[in-house]
Amino acid sequence: LYYLTERMVHGAEHSPWQSLLKVRNALLLALLTTVAAYLIMMLAPFPGIRQMAVFAAVGLSASCLTVLFWHPWLCRGLPVRPVPAMAPMLRWLAAWRRDKRLRIGLPVALTLLSLTGLALLKVNDDISQLQALPPSILAQEKAITRLTGQSGDQKWFVVYGDTPEQTLTRMEAFTPALEAARRDGVLKSYRTIPLNSQARQQQDLQLLRDATPAVERTLQSAGLSAVTPDLSPMTVTVDAWLQSPASEGWRLMWLTLPNGASGVLIPADGVTDSHALAVLAAKQPGIAWVDRKLTFDALFAEYRALLTGLL
């Protein structure tokens, strides 16, 4: 547009190549600054934004090269016409030069307006505001949450260990802290898989053995015949549990790598203080708190500050 405007106004006075020499430096400067601004967006860790930045930079470069190498040949017959609204622009420039009140008052007014806007500026890095769901979808989501008792929040604890037994032991050691957090109102509920470690299974079996004589005496005193239960060890391993129907609905919460390292998810619902749960997880070995929304919010805030500083 810059080159075409130059040709439209001064086409009768200069050749196409002379017009190109007049606007070439300005075009290259505009290209350099604009492409640099788009390439800065390559710092963002989002593939879509990176692709857009590359596409825009390549497109602008190709457009500039088209102007430099093709427009002087294609615009030789462009008719010369007067600039539209030239008279109002000349009157405005004359008033700007002569009227001191306009020359000083307008920048001051714009500065005050900008400062007012900056004072009212509110930063919101909540990614959920980027795309609002339709009311019908929100109603369905609430209905599903009410019926299943499970929300769609991507918030959970990850318990991991070098072996499945270590993972289960850490989950059992972490459960009392989770229960205390629930009583304190930090979260509404949580879900752990219904499988104990082999050590806990042995402890439960020993408790049954210790309680068996008292139960038998109570039954005999009531005139009932007591049947000696089979209390032989029958520990349930993770592999056996995963292959049984009892694990249906829970299998996606467990993961075992080929080297034996394992992890289990503990979903948390109704979280009111994500930071407190992160601190709670940091106190326990092999526990990590994952809040996907909070993580993306922090990531957006970090890159917003970075890009603002670069710009």
Computed over every residue of the chain, the mean pLDDT equals 83
Q: What pLDDT is attached to residue 287?
A: 94
The values of phi and psi at residue 273, to 5°, are -145, 90
pLDDT higher than threshold 70 for residue 148:
no
Burial zone of 158 (CB within 10 Å; 0-12 exposed, 13-18 middle, 19+ buried): middle
Q: Residues 192-203: what's their mean pLDDT?
A: 89
Tokens 């970075």 -> residue: 306
pLDDT higher than threshold 90 for residue 174:
yes
pLDDT in tens, 20-75: 777 788 888 888 988 888 888 887 777 888 888 899 999 989 988 887 887 777 77
Q: pLDDT-derived band of residue 143, with 50, 70 and 90 as boundaries?
A: confident
pLDDT in tens, 219-271: 778 777 767 777 777 788 899 999 999 888 888 899 999 998 999 999 988 88
Which residue, 26, 8, 27, 9, is CA-closest to 75? 8
pLDDT in tens, 70-97: 777 777 766 667 777 778 888 888 888 8
**What's the rounded Cα separation, in Å, for the pair 266 and 269?**
10
Q: Which of 127-141, 190-204, 239-253, 292-306 has the lowest mean pLDDT?
A: 127-141
Q: Which of 144-158, 206-220, 225-239, 276-290 has the lowest mean pLDDT?
A: 144-158
308 or 267, higher pLDDT: 267
Q: Look up the pTM and report it.
A: 0.60
Q: What pLDDT is attached to residue 111?
A: 93
- Written as one letter, the residue type at 286 is G
Q: pLDDT-derived band of residue 149, with 50, 70 and 90 as boundaries?
A: low
Q: Residues 281-303: what's their mean pLDDT?
A: 86
Q: What pLDDT is attached to residue 301?
A: 84
Q: What pLDDT is attached to residue 311?
A: 66
